[in-house]
Amino acid sequence: MSEWYCSVCHEILKGETKPGVCDICQADDRMIIKMEEVPKTLEQVRDAARTKLKGICAAYPSCDGNFDKICQREAYGKPIGLGGAGQGFSFRANAEALSRIQFNMSVLGDHFEPDTATRFLGIDLKFPVLSSSTAGAQKYNDALDETQFCISVLKGSKEAGTIGLRGDTWFYTREDHPSLNAMKACNGYGIPIFKPRSQDVLKKLIETAQEYGCKAVGVDLDGAGSTVMARQGMPVFKKSVKDIEELVRFTTLPFIAKGIMMPEEAQKCVDAGAAVIAVSNHGGRVLDSTPGVATVLPLIREKVGKSVLITADGGVRTGYDVLKMLALGADAVLLGRDIIRAAVGAGTLGVKLHLEHVHDTLKKAMFMTGTKNIKMVGSRILFNQN
C-alpha cells in the first residue's frame, strides 16, 4: 500500500493508486503528492510550480518583469498571465526601485538574535510579511482548484506565523466566491480584498466576510484598471472618497484601501476612515509606467504620518527586500507572485516553506544592519537615505 500526502491539509492517505480526493479536506488529486515526492526544499516547490505553469511562468531566479521573460506577453495582445500591463515598465520599476536601495552594513556591537515579531491590526504575527491578495490561479493550465488555492494561502500563512489576504476576480460570484469559501474553511483567519464592484455588491460581500469572522476587509481601488476584468467584460468602478466613507461606515471591520500610489490620495483614504493604506501598483498589472512602490512609499509615509498603518508590495522577493520596505515606511509587506508559485507548487506546504525562507532572510538582514527588533527599523539602516 502506497502513502500519499495532501498538500492542503497535510493528511497522509493510503492507497495502491493516487486517491481522487482527500478524505479529510476534499482537496482533489491535483493537490495530492506521492509521499516520496513531497518537496522538502523551496527549490523543489519552485520546480513543481515551473512544471505546472509551463508557458505562463518559468519561476525564474529573478521575478522582475524583464521583457525577455515568458510572462511579459501582454504587449502583443495575449492575456496578462503573471506578467505586467503594457510593456511591463511598472512591473520592472518595482524591482528596480528596490534594487537601488542599499543598506548600511553594521558589524560592531553586542551579538543578538533579531526579534521579528510584530502586531498588525491587533493580530500577533511572527514577522511583518503577509501573503497578498491574488486570484485566478485556477486559470493557469488548470493547475489547481481556486478554492484550494485560497485555502492553501490562508493555511500556509497561518502555519508560518502570519496571515493571508485573498483577492477577487471575474469568475468569483457572490454565491461561489473562492476567497470567501476559503475564509469560511479557515474560520475567518484571513483578509478578503474585493474588486471595486458596485457598492451594493461590495456591501453584500463585506457582510459575508463579517459573518465568517474575517480580520479586516478591503477593496483594491486600483482594480478599476484590471485588464483581466476588462477582458471578461466584468464591471469594476473608480471609487470616490464618499464611496470609501460609505464602506468604512458600513463595516465593523478595519478597512484596507489597496492600490494607493499618490500621497494626496493616501491622505484622502485616511480621512475617509481607512485603517490601512496598501501602497501598491498591483504588481504593475493595472497601469504601465508608474514609479516603483519603493520610490513612492516614503513620500506617502511622510504625508500621512504615523496615524495609519501602511503596507507595501511589489517586487518583494526576499527578507532583504522586506527590510527595505519597512525602513522606507511600511508597517507590513505583502508578497504576490511568489506566493502564487508556492501554492501552485505545493499547496499549504509550499506557502509555508516560502514564508519561512523570507523570515530567515529577514532575520539575516536585520542582524547585519544591527536591527534588534521591528520597532528599531528606520531609515538609519539605509545607505544615503537619512
Ligand X SMILES: Cc1cc2nc3c(=O)[nH]c(=O)nc-3n(C[C@H](O)[C@H](O)[C@H](O)COP(=O)(O)O)c2cc1C
Q: Which is nearer to ligand X, 32 or 248 (CB)?
A: 248
- Over the window 235 to 254, marking each residue x when it contacts ligand X by CB under 6 A and - when it does not, the resulting string is --------------------
Q: Which residue is nearest to ligand X (CB)?
A: 336
Q: Which is nearer to ligand X, 125 or 191 (CB)?
A: 191
Q: Which residue stretch of 132-140, 141-149, 262-270, 323-331 sits at the interface with ligand X (rule: CB under 6 A)? A: 132-140
Q: Which residue stretch of 22-30, 209-217, 282-290, 349-357 sits at the interface with ligand X (rule: CB under 6 A)? A: 282-290
90 binds ligand X (CB under 6 A): no
Give the number of other CB atoms < 10 A from CB of residue 65: 26
88 binds ligand X (CB under 6 A): no
SS3 state at 94: helix
Which one of 56, 130, 135, 144 is in contact with ligand X (CB under 6 A)?
Answer: 135
52 binds ligand X (CB under 6 A): no
Which stretches of the chain are DSSP H helices? 42-52, 89-100, 146-159, 178-185, 199-211, 227-231, 241-250, 263-271, 293-304, 319-327, 337-368
Which one of 315, 319, 345, 350 is in contact with ligand X (CB under 6 A)?
Answer: 315
Which one of 314, 319, 329, 347 is in contact with ligand X (CB under 6 A)?
Answer: 314
Closest approach, Cβ 80 to ligand X, in A, equals 8
258 binds ligand X (CB under 6 A): yes
Judge contact between 243 and 199, C-beta under 8 A.
yes
Which one of 157, 280, 311, 369 is in contact with ligand X (CB under 6 A)?
Answer: 280
133 binds ligand X (CB under 6 A): yes
Walk across the sheet containing 2-6 and list its strands.
Answer: 12-15, 2-6, 32-34
Which one of 313, 331, 347, 366 is in contact with ligand X (CB under 6 A)?
Answer: 313
Give me the numbers of helices (H) and strands (E) for the chain, helices first please.
Answer: 11, 13
Judge contact between 184 and 151, C-beta under 8 A.
no
- Residues 6 or more apart whose Cβ sits within 8 Å of residue 342: 42, 45, 46, 49, 156, 350, 351, 353, 354
3-state DSSP percent of the chain in helix, strand and coil, to 5: 40, 15, 45
Strand partners of residue 194: 219
128 binds ligand X (CB under 6 A): no
Hey, what's the cell of 159? 502555519
Find cell 498571465 and name the residue: 81
Instruction: Write out the binding residues for ligand X, residues 178-197 only, by CB under 6 A.
Output: 193
Give the number of other CB atoms < 10 A from CB of residue 113: 9
Q: Which is nearer to ligand X, 90 or 370 (CB)?
A: 90
Q: Which residue stretch of 19-27, 126-134, 181-189, 301-309 sits at the interface with ligand X (rule: CB under 6 A)? A: 126-134
Q: Which is nearer to ligand X, 130 or 381 (CB)?
A: 130
162 binds ligand X (CB under 6 A): no
Which one of 39, 88, 136, 345 is in contact with ligand X (CB under 6 A)?
Answer: 136
Burial of 334 (0-12, 13-18, 19+ CB in 10 A): buried
169 binds ligand X (CB under 6 A): yes
**160 φ, ψ (degrees, to nearest 5):** -85, 0
Judge contact between 216 and 254, C-beta under 8 A.
yes
Closest approach, Cβ 342 to ligand X, in A, equals 12
Strand partners of residue 175: none
Count CA atoms within 13 Å of residue 316 on its CB side.
37
324 binds ligand X (CB under 6 A): no
Which one of 8, 9, 183, 335 is in contact with ligand X (CB under 6 A)?
Answer: 335
**13 φ, ψ (degrees, to nearest 5):** -110, 155
Instruction: Write out the binding residues for ligand X, residues 349-368 only, by CB under 6 A.
Output: none
By CB under 6 A, name the binding residues for ligand X.
82, 94, 132-136, 167-169, 193, 220, 258, 280, 282-283, 285, 313-316, 335-337, 340
